[in-house]
Chain A
């Protein structure tokens, strides 16, 4: 255990460099560059608002804020897990030649997505101003769902990377699962319109979104959702770490 920390200390600069590289290269050679982190959620939210306004029961002037809270969290989860899943394969050239703790690759992918995600929060604050969703003291609770989703991504990222090294199918399978998660996350509809409420129990993202929305709309945290999301996050992290450590020495034989 002590060795792991020592090793991490030695390579934390690499983690920083790789995270920086991901962010830098993501928008290099595009004219608007980092502005896309803001533009992209704005544009998709406009589209979703227009399309799905009719799905809200009562007409709600803050609907775009509602969509944005869900969409930002979901797309961070989707992007980071998708990218992390391919990280070992993508860096196979380096892994085969130089020793580097392998978890650095998926973790740096997730971190870079997280930073972009946090930057895109600016859009949310902007939309809160525009649609007059006034922040209350509960907004300070928002760090809880934001940390929980990061932990969930670390865990899922490690699990998926390990699986994807051995089975390429995971990449396709996961995009199907992501679609299911998207439709069961109540991003662009009200959760109460769903008759089969049990479906939400299988979706950790839904519970994180519920609490994040509560923080934004000035309501206390929903304890049940909080417990479920803590459970999912910690379980995935523990399973991810165990799985990754058990299999990481075999990665090189499969990439």
Chain B
């Protein structure tokens, strides 16, 4: 951020994304009305992203790091305009090309030629532009005569090659890369990497998501870390990558056994409590008494915070319902 002197092209301002996880998926009318009447429609709130703010200047190459479920893809989808953030503001200057899933806009019945125009239109290119670049696209995709064959007969590599060729034919201001640098065979990969590196030289702004820290180090100039939907760190790539490595990749291993233990404890505890009514005072041995009370104490310890969470969620749910009801009115 400090070492670049470009104008701001992307600003993410206090963005949050809330998903309402319905406890049981209701997708037919009958069930919906029955549940509505019984007041049984409940949602569980889940914030995939919360209070995310950062700015990206022209020419920045931003790496987004985070474990699975940290909200990286959600963030990219919001920036690409696929998802709408539940709160916060997003301002973008310039054309975004998301290289998220190549060939997602293809129609299987259509031939390669037809799909070039269709996918180009999906990306918002004007027709004249596609006409102009048509030969270049076909050439780069190396499809040869297959360009006149319906896409349903393509191999996945061919599809990806065509998708890549179409999506990168225009020089975007902002390029979103979600681990797509591994398209096609080794030869094509080299070619596609070169095209992306050329774009870098032209000063394109890049948002890059990858689990490979090496790739992030190589490509990016700056990085951020997301953890459970929160922005944890933001800074020069080297610093952030080191932090990520020691903090997340290190601690992840340490966390795992702890979790297991907790679960075991819970299991033991529940077993003990279910046995409790069956135990008659006559047959109780002193030791087992101690065990049971111990278990109960533990259970209550574990249950109490949970209970308060549940209560909180109830309130949230009710508010949600109210909000929904108001909206519908």
Q: Mark A66-110, 1 if CB is under 8 A from B, else 0.
A: 000000000000000000000000000111111110000000000
* Cβ-closest 9 pairs across A and B: A99-B81, A14-B121, A97-B104, A249-B84, A17-B121, A169-B29, A167-B29, A169-B28, A94-B105
A254 cross-chain contacts in B, Cβ below 8 A = 27
B19 cross-chain contacts in A, Cβ below 8 A = 253
- CB pair B122–A14 under 8 Å, yes or no, is yes
Q: How far is the CB of B270 from chain A (nearest CB, A)?
A: 34
B118 cross-chain contacts in A, Cβ below 8 A = 17-18, 21
A167 cross-chain contacts in B, Cβ below 8 A = 27-29, 32
* The residue from A13, A98, A166 contacting B105, defined by CB atoms under 8 A apart: A98
Q: How far is the CB of A137 from chain B (nearest CB, A)?
A: 40
Q: Mark B215-247, 1 if CB is under 8 A from A, else 0.
A: 000000000000000000000000000000000
- Asked whether A10 is an interface residue with its Cβ less than 8 Å from the other chain, the reply is yes
Apart from A93-B104, A169-B29, what 14 extra A-B contacts exist at CB < 8 Å?
A14-B121, A14-B124, A17-B121, A25-B107, A28-B109, A97-B82, A97-B101, A97-B104, A98-B98, A99-B82, A99-B98, A100-B122, A169-B28, A253-B19
Bin chain A's interface residue count: 20 to 34
- Cα-based distance from A95 to B81 in the complex (angstroms): 10
User: Count the B residues whose beta carbon is within 8 Å of the partner chain — how many?
Assistant: 31
Write 24 A-B pairs (CB below 8 A) sorted by A numbering. Answer: A11-B121, A13-B121, A13-B127, A14-B122, A14-B124, A18-B121, A21-B110, A25-B109, A93-B104, A94-B104, A94-B105, A94-B122, A97-B82, A98-B82, A98-B104, A98-B122, A99-B80, A99-B82, A100-B122, A166-B27, A167-B28, A167-B32, A169-B29, A246-B327
* The residue from A168, A169, A252 contacting B83, defined by CB atoms under 8 A apart: A252
Residue picked from A16, A24, A94, A173, most chain B C-beta under 10 Å: A94
- CB pair A17–B109 under 8 Å, yes or no, is no
B272 cross-chain contacts in A, Cβ below 8 A = none
Q: Mark B67-110, 1 if CB is under 8 A from A, else 0.
A: 00000000000001111100000000000001011001101011
Chain B's closest residue to A29 (CB) is B109
- CB pair B121–A95 under 8 Å, yes or no, is no
- CB pair B80–A168 under 8 Å, yes or no, is no
- Cα-based distance from A177 to B219 in the complex (angstroms): 57
- CB pair A98–B29 under 8 Å, yes or no, is no
- CB pair A21–B82 under 8 Å, yes or no, is no
* The residue from B27, B107, B121 contacting A168, defined by CB atoms under 8 A apart: B27
Q: Mark A15-47, 1 if CB is under 8 A from B, else 0.
A: 011100100110010000000000000000000
- Asked whether B157 is an interface residue with its Cβ less than 8 Å from the other chain, the reply is no
- Cα-based distance from A10 to B96 in the complex (angstroms): 14
